[in-house]
Structure 1
């Protein structure tokens, strides 16, 4: 009887070892690949007090999920931006690295512009309006407490024009982080008053310098960014994260309406400042 129990225990041990070893097997995940998409990074940014004549548009192709290269530059395309009200055309020259640059762009507040990309026999287009930006009044620093977490919060104040529906983008670039943080607001409840856009970050430390840009943006771009920010920060929404939805930009293939084009064409004036965390 003792030998039988000993054999049973040994058998159970061998089974357990087999199960644990099986947990180390490599699992190959078959991720569906719908093919490469054209990615359009076309942000015309006009800083207050400058000519805004030098602008760059970036084109890339998306790659598969497990590809070591996150994207592939698109070269050989023809890129132009046309001002709708007078038909003037600005050519963005191919730099042979995925970027296309113009040095003679003429920005005009409230003017509409059409982006046209000729690539691989297709015509990609998008139209947007160049929106004015407010002037930054000041930046204030506060402490935001949430449970055991403490974050430094920056608020950027500016005057909102009266009787005008406005949408704003705040871009916060700390010197100790590789990427900026984005925030968007609208003046639905603050029309004609001093408004502010804010950002809180647990990486804000004493001595860190934060570059701050405030843009005027269109309602459509506001809606696009609002969804993008919600989805990228869904891990901060507790047990009820934001349900991901397909994020559609404004660039379309005139030859194939069903082609999914990633990215956005937008134009905006911006005011800029910086703030050092204390």
Structure 2
């Protein structure tokens, strides 16, 4: 199963400013000359024998989010004493077809590019069963709005982290549905995956993908979610916390997946 992570934007610099009383100064910031960094998006799942790693380079904040592909890297994933080499199927896209992820195993990514080594580890959690999907209808100023709800039972014995992907009629939601069991440990959980830009109508095809992720990946996606929810022109976006070494951007995630489809009635 091919996994396409959502489009993310990386910023190669962080900008901070101090306002000094009785002093006005125009600060010129060169966004275009910021150094490029490697951007890595790697996944190992239990849903397929095909695992993918995408490698590109960051761009200036003023450029379009069209990251240049990185070719010629040596990429491997290792686990339990086995090493799986990835072949470059297309520019910047590296694939192995001989590895299916297993729960409770730790996977290590190793990338060698231009004499630099980048590594990351991720442990695949035990999957939590998605019990059911539903449609919730709410009314506002005389208009009905429909959204998808997911139900699952959180295990009491361990700390769990979840990510949900919502797709409606092949259009993926740009919202980040990221959760921890800090307040729901051991309970029956009902989540409303509301996207105001994807109001559901009768006949719509909805696909939900539930991912059980580890702590490092929760931090990564939660960081992106916080960037998305920040408001005000004075708020400076920041790169999410990466679990990849050597100052690379992006993530390497070993996670379980479940996919469920429904038709809105």
2:118 is paired with a residue of what secondary structure?
strand
Which residue does the alignment assign to 2:126?
Answer: 132
Q: Which aligned pairs between 1:192-271 and structure 2 lie closer than 5 A? A: 192-202=186-196, 203-206=198-201, 207-235=203-231, 244-253=237-246, 260-271=247-258
Q: Which aligned pairs between 1:82-231 and structure 2 lie closer than 5 A? A: 82-83=78-79, 86-144=80-138, 151-175=145-169, 177-202=171-196, 203-206=198-201, 207-231=203-227
Instruction: Name the TM-score, length of structure 2 as normaliser.
Output: 0.79
8 A contact 2:46–2:100 mirrored in 1: no
- Unmatched 5+ residue regions in structure 2? 1-28
Instruction: Specify whether residues 127 and 189 from structure 1 end up closer, same or farther in structure 2 by C-alpha distance, changes over 3 A only.
Output: same
1:40 is paired with a residue of what secondary structure?
strand
8 A contact 1:183–1:197 mirrored in 2: no
Task: Provide the rounded CA distance (Å) in 1 between the counterparts of 2:57 and 2:142.
Answer: 43
2:171 is paired with a residue of what secondary structure?
coil
Which residue does the alignment assign to 2:74?
Answer: 78
Task: Provide the rounded CA distance (Å) in 2 between the counterparts of 1:193 and 1:62.
Answer: 41
Once superposed, what is the RMSD of the aligned Cα atoms?
Answer: 2.7
Choose 1 or 2 for highest CA Rg.
1
Task: Provide the rounded CA distance (Å) in 2 between the counterparts of 1:159 and 1:241.
Answer: 40
Task: Provide the rounded CA distance (Å) in 1 between the counterparts of 2:245 and 2:143.
Answer: 43
Instruction: Specify whether residues 227 and 104 from structure 1 end up closer, same or farther in structure 2 by C-alpha distance, changes over 3 A only.
Output: same
1:220 is paired with a residue of what secondary structure?
helix
Instruction: Specify whether residues 178 and 106 from structure 1 end up closer, same or farther in structure 2 by C-alpha distance, changes over 3 A only.
Output: closer
Out of 246, 261, 264, the position equivalent to 1:274 is 261
8 A contact 2:45–2:100 mirrored in 1: no
Task: Provide the rounded CA distance (Å) in 2 between the counterparts of 1:33 and 1:93.
Answer: 32
2:103 is paired with a residue of what secondary structure?
coil
| Alpha-carbon displacement from aligned partner over 1:26-71 (angstroms, at most 9, x marks no partner) | xxx9534312211101022222xxxx31111111112234445711
Task: Provide the rounded CA distance (Å) in 2 between the counterparts of 1:94 and 1:176.
Answer: 27
Task: Provide the rounded CA distance (Å) in 1 between the counterparts of 2:207 and 2:110.
Answer: 32
8 A contact 1:211–1:273 mirrored in 2: yes
2:117 is paired with a residue of what secondary structure?
strand
The more displaced of 205-214 and 117-126 is: 205-214
2:240 is paired with a residue of what secondary structure?
coil
1:221 is paired with a residue of what secondary structure?
helix
Are 1:37 and 2:37 counterparts?
yes
8 A contact 2:164–2:208 mirrored in 1: yes
Q: How far is 1:216 from its partner?
A: 0.7
8 A contact 2:50–2:100 mirrored in 1: no
Task: Provide the rounded CA distance (Å) in 2 between the counterparts of 1:234 and 1:130.
Answer: 30
1:161 is paired with a residue of what secondary structure?
coil
8 A contact 2:87–2:95 mirrored in 1: yes
- Unmatched 5+ residue regions in structure 1? 1-28, 254-259
